[in-house]
Chains A and B, each alone.
Chain A
Amino acid sequence: MESGNPLLDDYVLGLTRAERPRVCFLPTASGDADHYIVRFYRAFSAHRCEPSHISLFRREQGPSDLRRHLLSQDLVYVGGGSVVSLLGVWRAHGIDSILREAWEAGIVLCGLSAGSLCWFEEAVTGFHGEPKRLRGLGLLPFSNCVHYERGAMRGEAYHRFLREGMRGGYAAEDGAALHFTGAELSRVVASRPEARGYRLDVTGSRVVEMRIATTYLGDRDAVPAAPLPEALSTAPAA
Chain B
Amino acid sequence: MAGGAVRPTTATPVRRILALGGHDFSFRPPDRAVCQLLLRLAGERGGERPRICILPTASGDTSEQIAGFYSAFGERSCEPSDLSLFRLGRRPVELRDHLLAQDLIYVGGGSLVNLLAVWEAHDIASILSLAWRRGIVLAGQSAGAMCWFEAGITKSSGKPLAAAGLGLLGGSLCVHYNNEPERRAAYLNAVSDGMPSGYGLDDYAGLLWEGEGSPSAVTARRGARAYRVSKSAGEVAESPLPARFLPAPAPAALREDIAEFRRIKTMRKRAGWLG
Choose the segment among B17-25, B84-92, B253-261 that binds chain A (4+ C-beta atoms closer than 8 Å).
Answer: B84-92
The segment out of A79-87, A166-174, A198-206 that lies at the interface is A79-87
Taking a contact as CB atoms under 8 Å apart, the answer to whether B89 and A56 are in contact is no
Q: Nearest CB to that of A94 among chain B residues? A: B157
Q: Is A9 an interface residue (CB 8 A)?
A: no
Indicate whether A30 reaches chain B with its CB closer than 8 angstroms: yes
Stretch in A57-65, A103-111, A137-145, A156-164 with 4+ CB within 8 Å of B = A57-65
State the CA gap A145–B230 with chains docked (Å): 52
The interface on chain A, measured as residues whose beta carbon lies within 8 A of the other chain's beta carbons, has a size of 26
Chain B residues, CB < 8 A from A56: 111, 114
**A89 CA to B114 CA in the complex, in Å?**
5
Q: How far is the CA of A33 from the CA of B158 in the complex (A)?
A: 19
CA A58 – CA B154 in complex, angstroms? 12
Pick from A32, A55, A87, A127: contact of B88, CB below 8 A: A127
**Which stretch (B43-51, B56-64, B193-201, B262-270) binds chain A?**
B56-64
CB–CB B116/A92 < 8 A: yes
Closest CB-CB distance, B31 to chain A, in whole Å?
Answer: 23
What number of A-B contacts does a CB cutoff of 8 Å give?
69
Contact B111 A31 (CB under 8 A): no
Chain B residues in 8 Å Cβ range of A88: 117-118, 120-122
**Complex Cα–Cα for A84 and B121 (A):** 6
A211 at the interface (CB under 8 A from B): no
Q: Which residues of A contact B110 (CB under 8 A)?
A: 57
B113 at interface, CB cutoff 8 A = yes
Q: Is B76 part of the contact surface with A, judged by Cβ < 8 Å?
A: no
A68 CB, nearest partner CB in chain B, Å: 13
The CA-CA distance from A58 to B60 in the complex, in Å, is 9
The answer to whether A17 has its CB under 8 Å from any CB of chain B is no
Contacts of A89 in B (CB 8 A): 114, 117-118
Contact A60 B89 (CB under 8 A): no
**A32 to B63 CA separation, bound complex (whole angstroms):** 11
Complex-state Cα separation, A129 to B49, whole angstroms: 29
A57 and B59 in contact, given A30-B86, A31-B86, A81-B86 (Cβ under 8 angstroms): yes
Docked complex Cα distance between A82 and B124 (Å): 15
For residues 112 through 162 of chain B, which have their beta carbon under 8 Å from a beta carbon of chain A? 113-114, 116-118, 120-122, 155-158
A232 to B60, CA, bound (A): 39
Q: Does A39 sit at the interface, judged by CB under 8 A? A: no
What's the nearest-Cβ distance from chain B to residue A164, in Å? Answer: 21
Given contacts A59-B111, A82-B88, A127-B89, whether A33 and B60 have CB atoms under 8 Å apart is yes
Complex formed: what's the CA distance from A127 to B86 in Å?
9
**Is A128 among interface residues, defined by CB-CB distance under 8 A?**
yes
Q: Please report the C-alpha to C-alpha distance between residue A29 and residue B84 in the assembled complex, in whole angstroms.
A: 12
A71-B41 Cα distance, complex, nearest whole Å:
49
Contact A85 B59 (CB under 8 A): no
CA of A34 to CA of B65 in the docked complex: distance in angstroms? 13
Question: A128 with B89: in contact, given A57-B110, A59-B158, A60-B155 (CB under 8 Å)?
Answer: yes
B positions within 8 Å CB-CB of A: 58-62, 84-89, 92, 110-111, 113-114, 116-118, 120-122, 155-158
8 tightest A-B contacts by CB? A31-B60, A88-B121, A31-B86, A92-B117, A128-B88, A57-B60, A88-B117, A129-B92
Other A-B contacts than A57-B58, A85-B118, 11 sampled, CB-CB below 8 A, are: A30-B60, A32-B60, A56-B111, A57-B60, A59-B155, A59-B156, A82-B88, A85-B85, A89-B118, A92-B116, A128-B92
